[in-house]
Chain A
Amino acid sequence: MTTMIKAQNLTKDYGDGRGIFDINFEVQKGETFGFVGTNGSGKTTTIRHIMGFLKPQKGFCQVLDKDCWKYSSEIKKWIEYVPGEIAFPDLRSGTEFLKSQAELLNLKDMSYANYLIEKLQLDVTANLKSMSKGMKQKTAIVAAFMANKDILILDEPTTGLDPLMRLSFLELLDEEKKKGKTILISSQMFDELETSCDRVALIFEGHIVDIANVKELQNLPYKMYKVEFLIPEQYKKFKESHYQVLRDQEKYNQVTVKVFDKDLHQFFNELKNFKLKFISEVNYNLEKYFMEVLNKYQNGGSNVQ
């Protein structure tokens, strides 16, 4: 496996606790890597370092073993980039912009660009300045994707897109992924990353708190069930059984337990003896996982990684 993107001890301190601190991660070839975090957590700063726009104070980042700062123009041979803030040069129409961008990329064949325009239902003849946020976003996506390079770096690419467009975009992303492209994507939305990413890093206040393997999260060897009892005595009795209680809500006689797949049969057999109000499976997802991690991180102050 080739390491496409690598960051090691990457630090940029803007003062007042802002900035990024000791960022470490690697993205392998063909992998889709996600960044998730709140506003100002450091996603964009990290991406700017990879793009060679910012000079690290400490540590380094590399693309295909080339230092991002030193070889900032060379690494662009492999990188397609959709910036977080969409602002276009002073040109009149989308067509003009895409043409100019193609010239800068030394791109002669526009067939893929036309395919993208079709797919995203983009009206390129529109005036660049009067475009809606979503239109601009689509134009930016076409401008980045059309060169068909190996690495895709996307900074919150779905903001401003309507739900249907988001879907087509995610489809597009999937196509790119199938072509074997390496993708680095940042977002505030967990579900989006969960469906498209192989691994997702959680950034909080400039630190990578955890890097989660999405496949592993989806294929957990246990399930979680939320059970509410009609009779409080039975609720208390059940709590004392050997299942691991994840959440206990005494007020409602509710309990959430973790049940390993092998114990499933036994679990339901046991429940036959209780009078239940309801039972439901609790979906475990990235968001839940990260919330747990974050709680632990903030309370314990210890880095999980």
Chain B
Amino acid sequence: MFSKALFKQTAKAHWVRWMAVTVSTCVMLAIVIVVLGNLGINDIRDSLKNVFIQADQQSELKEKSIDSYELYLTTTDTYNQMSMLQSVIENSVTDFKTQFATLEDKTEENAKFLALSVATEKVNSSFFANLMTEEQKASAISFISATLLYSLQEPEMSAMELVKETYGEMVYTAAYDEALSDGYNDEEALSQADGAKELAFIAIDSYVTKSSSGSFVYNVDNFKDEARVEVNNMMFNNVEESQLKSGVSEDEALQNAVAIKIISNTAITTYQALLIDENFKNSLNITETDADKIQEIVISSARDEACKSISDQIPDKVSEALTELGNMDMYSLIIGSIFYRIAGLLLPMVFVIMTANNLLAGQVDSGSMAYVLSTPTKRRTVTVTQMAYLIFALFSMYALLTVVSVISVWISGGNSFAINYGEILLLNLGAFLTMFAFAGFCFMCSAIFNRSKHSLSIGGGLTIFSLVCTILGLFGSAVVPSAMRINAMDFFNYLSIITLFDTASILSGGLNFIWQFGILFGIGIVTIIIGILRFDKKDLPL
């Protein structure tokens, strides 16, 4: 079944070609991995990524500024309402305290109930009651009852101080909940809540200072500029503080803080301007008729507009393409899809086509097969030996390539490299199995045909056809960014055996390669068996 002498003869006849192909493929692979690895071809990707990350961060920042700005205005508005109810609240606190003292059972439940009933009674009996809407009444009642409950904890505080603390607590809780629901962790949520509470206190303190100056009439417009400045200052302080904490130099921290302050200021100014801009309102094409709803839409649109980042400003398709480009792994594309499936297959393919043809058809065609077959060597022995050589040659070629690729990956940084050792081994195994399938097919053609030209044109032709289809199919496959992709070209992938060597799936950790490798191996085995059986039975013109 196997002839050592023939194997030696075949190896001698083909070693130059084997060396040429193996060495040049190894060099190509080493260059691809090592040189490109050190050039940092992923830099472009990283900078693209940064642009988008920064844009998203800026957008977030702007949103926060506007939120804070709104909070500031809401706070002054709420505090204004409460200060009008000052006497009511003061009465309520005194009444609540005395009634609570007489309470037999001082449970939390009872305290709550008492606070609510006192607040309800006082609000309804006050002369403001007729001026307030039911809604305003309800919110005043719930706020006052919360204040009353808080007075139990701080018995020394004046009524308006209690109001301030209660409001601060409410803002704190609301900000904390919102931060958690936005996906921040507990620590961040707490710091955000702290910030919100602090800002609310600033707003209240500012209101108190202003109202104590005599001829004070509350108007929300008076607070708008103040709110903007305060928010800007807060952003500045936050950033400077956190930057200094993270070890950035003072200058740099200041610079960043200024930059943030400017971003915040721009966002709020834009927002303010858009709210009163009739043109903007008209451009929204609002179909609603209810004034409140119109206002709601205008506010949310103004917010969106003011918070826009770069990625929102460019067209969706371009932004998608850029994002995809940012996420694309150049190493996987070049090493996986271009080297292992196309460039690195070409030379081994030429070796397989020429060698497989030479092993049988070429020797039958020229007549040199007569010398082997005029010795007591069976045809089966000839085919098995020649096939063994072809597989051995391919195997040793890929064994060397594997060694070279592993060393190259090691030089490029080992497991911290974009492609790890396991993946590079799988890529080599896959390329070997792909070539094994082609080798089987070319060998079968070589065994079936008596003429080199037929064996070469069918075996070699279809093999090269597969490679060309893979090249064309690359432009339709998912590894190419959508900006360059032509989906119709994906059709070519269905015409190529190489499609079963799915480098993209291997590099993204899929397991599809297991059955695909199985099919490649199967194609090789089946074609080899067909070739061997056919060669036993055919006429040889020797």
Task: Give min CB distance, B361 to chain A, whole Å.
Answer: 13
Is there an interface contact between A81 and B370, defined as CB atoms closer than 8 Å?
yes
Is there an interface contact between A87 and B539, defined as CB atoms closer than 8 Å?
no
Task: Give min CB distance, B310 to chain A, whole Å.
Answer: 64
Task: Give min CB distance, A102 to chain B, whole Å.
Answer: 9
Is there an interface contact between A81 and B366, defined as CB atoms closer than 8 Å?
no
Residues A86 and B541 in contact in the complex (CB < 8 Å), given A80-B374, A81-B374, A104-B377: no
Is there an interface contact between A144 and B374, defined as CB atoms closer than 8 Å?
yes
Residues A76 and B374 in contact in the complex (CB < 8 Å), given A54-B539, A54-B540, A55-B539: yes
Residues A100 and B540 in contact in the complex (CB < 8 Å), given A73-B376, A77-B376, A83-B367: no
Which residues of the other chain, A, contact B368 by a CB distance below 8 angstroms?
87-89
Q: Which of B6-14, B66-74, B166-174, B342-350 lies at the binding interface?
A: B6-14
Q: Kindly state the interface size class of chain B when it binds its partner.
A: 20 to 34
Is there an interface contact between A85 and B367, defined as CB atoms closer than 8 Å?
yes
| Chain A interface residue count, Cβ-Cβ cutoff 8 angstroms | 31
Tell yes or no: A141 within 8 A of B by CB: no
Q: Which residue of A lies closest to B372 (CB)?
A: A104
Tell yes or no: B488 within 8 A of A by CB: no
Tell yes or no: A109 within 8 A of B by CB: no
Q: What's the count of A-B pairs with C-beta under 8 Å? A: 88
> Using a CB-CB cutoff of 8 Å, which residues 78-96 of chain A contact chain B?
79-81, 83, 85-91, 96
Tell yes or no: B453 within 8 A of A by CB: no
Which residues of the other chain, A, contact B376 by a CB distance below 8 angstroms?
73-74, 76-77, 105
Tell yes or no: A48 within 8 A of B by CB: yes
Tell yes or no: B20 within 8 A of A by CB: no
> Using a CB-CB cutoff of 8 Å, which residues 353-387 of chain B contact chain A?
358, 363, 366-368, 370-379, 381
Tell yes or no: B5 within 8 A of A by CB: yes
Which residues of the other chain, B, contact A234 by a CB distance below 8 angstroms?
none
Which residues of the other chain, A, contact B9 by a CB distance below 8 angstroms?
89, 91, 100, 103-104
Pick the residue among B6, B363, B371, B373 that contacts A143 (CB under 8 A): B371
Is there an interface contact between B540 and A103, defined as CB atoms closer than 8 Å?
no
Does more than half of chain B's interface fall in helix, strand or loop, or is it mixed? helix
Provide the bound-state CA to CA distance between A90 and B378, in Å.
20
Contact digits for B1-37, partner A, Cβ 8 Å, 1 yes 0 no: 0011110110011100000000000000000000000
Does more than half of chain A's interface fall in helix, strand or loop, or is it mixed? loop
Tell yes or no: A72 within 8 A of B by CB: yes
Q: Which residue of A lies closest to B539 (CB)?
A: A54
Q: Which of B14, B379, B539 has the most CB of A within 10 A?
A: B539
Tell yes or no: B129 within 8 A of A by CB: no
Provide the bound-state CA to CA distance between A100 and B539, in Å.
25
Is there an interface contact between B13 and A51, defined as CB atoms closer than 8 Å?
no
Provide the bound-state CA to CA distance between A147 and B376, in Å.
12
Pick the residue among A79, A83, A104, A143 that contacts B5 (CB under 8 A): A104
Task: Give min CB distance, A141 to chain B, whole Å.
Answer: 12
Which residues of the other chain, A, contact B3 by a CB distance below 8 angstroms?
104
Task: Give min CB distance, A177 to chain B, whole Å.
Answer: 20
Tell yes or no: A24 within 8 A of B by CB: no
Q: Which of B9, B358, B541 has the most CB of A within 10 A?
A: B9
Task: Give min CB distance, A54 to chain B, whole Å.
Answer: 5
Tell yes or no: A274 within 8 A of B by CB: no
Tell yes or no: B51 within 8 A of A by CB: no
Which residues of the other chain, B, contact A83 by a CB distance below 8 angstroms?
367, 370-371, 374, 542
Task: Give min CB distance, A69 to chain B, whole Å.
Answer: 10
Is there an interface contact between B14 and A104, defined as CB atoms closer than 8 Å?
no
Q: Which residue of A lies closest to B376 (CB)?
A: A76
Task: Give min CB distance, A254 to chain B, whole Å.
Answer: 49
Provide the bound-state CA to CA distance between A103 and B9, in Å.
10
Is there an interface contact between A90 and B542, defined as CB atoms closer than 8 Å?
no
Task: Give min CB distance, B452 to chain A, whole Å.
Answer: 12
> Using a CB-CB cutoff of 8 Å, which residues 203-226 of chain A contact chain B?
none
Is there an interface contact between B375 and A105, defined as CB atoms closer than 8 Å?
yes
Tell yes or no: A3 within 8 A of B by CB: no
Task: Give min CB distance, B369 to chain A, whole Å.
Answer: 9
Is there an interface contact between B6 and A104, defined as CB atoms closer than 8 Å?
yes
Which residues of the other chain, B, contact A252 by a CB distance below 8 angstroms?
none
Tell yes or no: A289 within 8 A of B by CB: no
Residues A103 and B12 in contact in the complex (CB < 8 Å), given A53-B541, A83-B542, A90-B358: no
Is there an interface contact between A73 and B377, defined as CB atoms closer than 8 Å?
yes
Which residues of the other chain, A, contact B540 by a CB distance below 8 angstroms?
48, 53-54
9 other A-B residue contacts (CB within 8 Å) besides A83-B367, A100-B5: A53-B373, A54-B541, A72-B378, A73-B376, A73-B379, A79-B374, A81-B374, A89-B372, A91-B13
What are 9 A-to-B residue pairs whose CB atoms are below 8 Å?
A53-B373, A72-B378, A81-B370, A81-B374, A85-B366, A87-B367, A89-B363, A91-B13, A96-B12
Listed from nearest, the 10 A-B pairs whose CB atoms lie closest are A103-B5, A90-B13, A87-B366, A81-B374, A85-B367, A53-B540, A83-B370, A104-B375, A73-B378, A87-B367
